[in-house]
Amino acid sequence: MVIGQYTITTTPKYNFPQPTIDTTLPQRFLEQSIHSLKQVRNQSFQLNQQNLQQTSTFDDNPTTLQLKRQPLPLTPRTQETLIAAVDTSTIKIGETSKGIIIAIRGATIWKQNRNYRYTRLGPFIFHITEENKKEVYNTLETAYFNIQYASNHQATPNLLQMPTRLASLLERWLQAMLAKTVSQGIILFDGSLTSGTIDTPVQRMKEILNTARRNKNIVLAFSKMTTLRVNGYLITDLLPEHEPPYLLETTGLQFKPPTVLLGDVYVARLNKANYAFRLDIDREIPIQHRMEAVEKLLGNDLYMQSYPETLRLAHILCTFTANEVLAMQHFITRKHGIQIINRPDMHRLLFGPFGKGESYS
């Protein structure tokens, strides 16, 4: 299988997938990470954690959306098929007088021969300030993706958007790598196939899907949460009385330009658990193949609570635990001489027991 092309060689310092894939982006991630942290040397910072998962931010609610009530029943296909998934996570681990310190990590996971395997990339720790955010973002944008995206770039994200935007860059790169290296498999994305947004240009997503198709892969994008509604009800709540697994088809979903939907949207209920998810399937894939892909997913992966295990593991493996946050704080304190201080929580200070604390603000 092509996934075997992730040939890893150990170097004294870094260890990146070689040589069939372009590792420019993670190299730049590392360089920018170290460079940005050097700027924060001997500064104090305020502890502050916020674990951010990549979430879809463009579920506008078009009024034309319809949900077909007739389920498309599914039969699990046990034909051996590689299932791969990717997810990224970012966390703000503190603030400095000039900016924020964030960490980003991505994970790809694949199931083959009944075994799960993973590759985790990161964490990359960045010190993002108003001064360096443009440099960091543009350097990473141009590192792997076409220069044209960077030049077309609307505006450098603001400081608070930077964690998700950088994580999004890493996620797209990981998705592209999977699309390149997996063949005849099913690739699971976290989120939707909506593009044309700030961090997901249409061309970039199209390229990823094209590459996947060239390698006879099918991309299935699962959204943990959706805001799409029909007649005021969330599409994932409108489940018919039908024995799962099944898909419900949607029609009439259109977004205002420049947002473009590159997949068709379904509601997937994969087992008897009373949960359903929005599922986007590459629009260029013939209907028959889409159904087969979901059936292969059913036959090859576990799906507790109606959610594919491979994608769940990708999420779990990239998420930062409190222990890791402590370790990263320890790392930046030891390696970069940053003094850890606790600024008083103004909410607590001013409102006492009535203050919810800054972390909730």
Residues within the interface to another protein (CB under 8 A): 6, 8, 13-17, 26, 29-30, 33-34, 109, 115-125, 309, 313, 316-317, 319, 321-328, 330-331, 334
Whole-angstrom Cα distance, residue 253 to residue 277?
16
Least distance CB 37 / another protein (angstroms): 9
When the beta carbons of 193 and 325 are compared against another protein, the nearer one is: 325
When the beta carbons of 26 and 263 are compared against another protein, the nearer one is: 26
Distances, alpha carbon 47 to alpha carbons 166, 284, 332, 353, in Å: 21, 46, 12, 21
Whole-angstrom Cα distance, residue 63 to residue 180?
37
When the beta carbons of 282 and 301 are compared against another protein, the nearer one is: 301
When the beta carbons of 109 and 205 are compared against another protein, the nearer one is: 109
Whole-angstrom Cα distance, residue 119 to residue 8?
10
Least distance CB 102 / another protein (angstroms): 13
Distances, alpha carbon 154 to alpha carbons 78, 130, 150, 200, 340, in Å: 46, 17, 9, 12, 36
Least distance CB 152 / another protein (angstroms): 29
DSSP string, 270-281: -SSSS--EEEEE
When the beta carbons of 209 and 332 are compared against another protein, the nearer one is: 332
For the chain, the residue count is 361
Least distance CB 33 / another protein (angstroms): 7
Helix (H, G, I), strand (E, B) or coil at 106: strand
Give the residue carrying structure tokens 């790598």. Answer: 177
From the CA atom positions of the chain, what is the Rg in Å?
Answer: 21
CA angle 102, 106, 210 (to 5 degrees): 125
When the beta carbons of 187 and 328 are compared against another protein, the nearer one is: 328
When the beta carbons of 273 and 326 are compared against another protein, the nearer one is: 326
Give the residue carrying structure tokens 């061309």. Answer: 203
With beta carbons less than 8 A apart as the criterion, state whether 263 and 283 touch: yes
Least distance CB 263 / another protein (angstroms): 28
Residue 270 structure tokens = 């994969």
Whole-angstrom Cα distance, residue 311 to residue 221?
10
Least distance CB 98 / another protein (angstroms): 21
Helix (H, G, I), strand (E, B) or coil at 228: coil
When the beta carbons of 14 and 351 are compared against another protein, the nearer one is: 14
CA angle 54, 58, 60 (to 5 degrees): 145
